[in-house]
Amino acid sequence: MQPSHNLLLELFLMFSAAKLFAAVFERLRQPAVVGEILAGIVLGPSLLALVHPSELTSGLAEIGAIFLLFTIGLETKPADLIRVGRTAALVAVLGVLVPFALGFSYMRVTGHDALNAIFLGAALVATSVGITARVLKDAGALAMRAAQVILAAAVLDDILGMILLAVVASLNQVAVNYVALAVVAAEAAALCWFMVFLAPRLVRHLGRAVTQHGPSNSPRILAVMLCLGLSLASTYIGMAAIVGAFLAGLALADHSQEWGLSGAMNPIYEFLGPFFFVYLGAQVDVRTLAEPGMLSMLFTICVLAIGSKLAGCAIGAAGLGVRDALRVGIGMVPRGEVGLIVASAGLSLHAVSGRVYAAVLLMTVVTTLVAPPFLRLALREK
């Protein structure tokens, strides 16, 4: 029974500390997500060593992120994203090109080889849609035009980031498999198009049949099945599971209020969501900052990560006006799960050094901690 005791203790500590830190930060009028990530840093191996990232906690964290994006999708109408689609596409493209170019150039100038430079550039690309969405949700700003651009662009960013990951992972091989890359891109585009334009119609007809012939909770069962199924489908075609979860919520958004989906899904997220943010913080090893030259490297990478996203995405959203463009730029700054996936892939392929991996990991947390307070401030109306 000892392993079971240890697991339950870690889960208890992760959940309790997340809620406690979140309450403190809300009292200080700061985003709760920042407190949850800091709770992970405090409990993690580098400080109190009470929580150790494992396969089980990683799985709980991923499920938490999936239900976060699913609940965000339920509150986002497909028509709203279609309306800002052109602006979101421009924001996403510039939000990929500018960070990749600056990250690659910095690594080459400082004497790193091309493979390390490409992996760092790829790690700087993807926005953490989970963290940004949590701030927007807590601020009650999901209906704002800037928020809709951020969500759409962040999802596109993640898709482009995963395609870029496939490219850089293939660089370790003899030749790049362009056919495989084209297939991944086509599958991702087809899935997004289907879920935005056709899935809501299918859900309407399917939902009518389910509510007439099934038990009273049939719509909620259908919603969870669609969430998990689309998350799984996303991983099969090379995208992050959270992208599929968001698309599933998007397909159900027009019926969310009628079927009571948001009210049913929120308790699930309230339980599982904190594990994602605590797990993100627990992966940080602050002891790496003591290594020679690490602080200067981390500082430079963080400046590049924040400045490149802020500038590139704000320029892409310039048509919305200065205030909304600034909101979009700040909202696209946090890195997260996809950046960590890129860095982990580079480490497992022996294509990136331990120092670069540690720097990317710390950069992910720094951008995650810095952006939410400024985004919350920028979201306030005059």
> pLDDT per residue over 44-82, tens digit each?
888 888 988 888 888 898 898 889 888 878 877 787 777
Cite the DSSP H helix spans in the chain. Answer: 2-27, 32-43, 55-74, 78-83, 85-109, 114-123, 129-138, 145-170, 178-193, 199-213, 218-236, 241-252, 256-259, 261-282, 294-316, 322-331, 337-348, 354-379
What is the Cα–Cα distance from 38 to 292, expressed in whole angstroms?
A: 25
Question: Cβ neighbours of residue 66 under 8 Å, at least 6 residues apart?
Answer: 227, 228, 231, 241, 242, 245
Mean pLDDT, all residues of the chain: 81
Please compute the mean of the pLDDT values over residues 203-230 and round it to a whole number. 80
What is the Cα–Cα distance from 40 to 179, expressed in whole angstroms?
A: 41
- Contact between 370 and 333 (Cβ < 8 Å): yes
pLDDT at position 382 is 42
Question: Cβ neighbours of residue 76 under 8 Å, at least 6 residues apart?
Answer: 142, 148, 151, 249, 250, 253
DSSP collapsed to 3 states, 177-238: CHHHHHHHHHHHHHHHHHHHHHHHHHHHHHHHHHHHHCCCCHHHHHHHHHHHHHHHHHHHCC
Kindly indicate the confidence band of residue 347, based on its pLDDT and cuts at 50, 70 and 90. low
Please compute the mean of the pLDDT values over residues 145-165 and round it to a whole number. 78
For the cut 70, the answer to whether the pLDDT of residue 3 exceeds it is: no
Q: Which DSSP state fits 320?
A: G
Tens-place pLDDT, residues 127-149: 777 777 777 877 777 778 888 88
Q: How far is CA 19 from the centre of its chain?
A: 20
What is the Cα–Cα distance from 161 to 341, expressed in whole angstroms?
A: 10
CATH annotation of 66-271+293-379: 1.20.1530.20
pLDDT at position 126 is 74
Type of residue found at 190 = A
Please compute the mean of the pLDDT values over residues 86-103 and round it to a whole number. 89
Which pTM was predicted?
A: 0.74
Structure tokens at 7: 């697991």
Phi-psi region of 179 (alpha: psi -120 to 50; beta: other; left: phi over 0): alpha
Residue 285, SS3?
coil
Phi-psi region of 293 (alpha: psi -120 to 50; beta: other; left: phi over 0): left
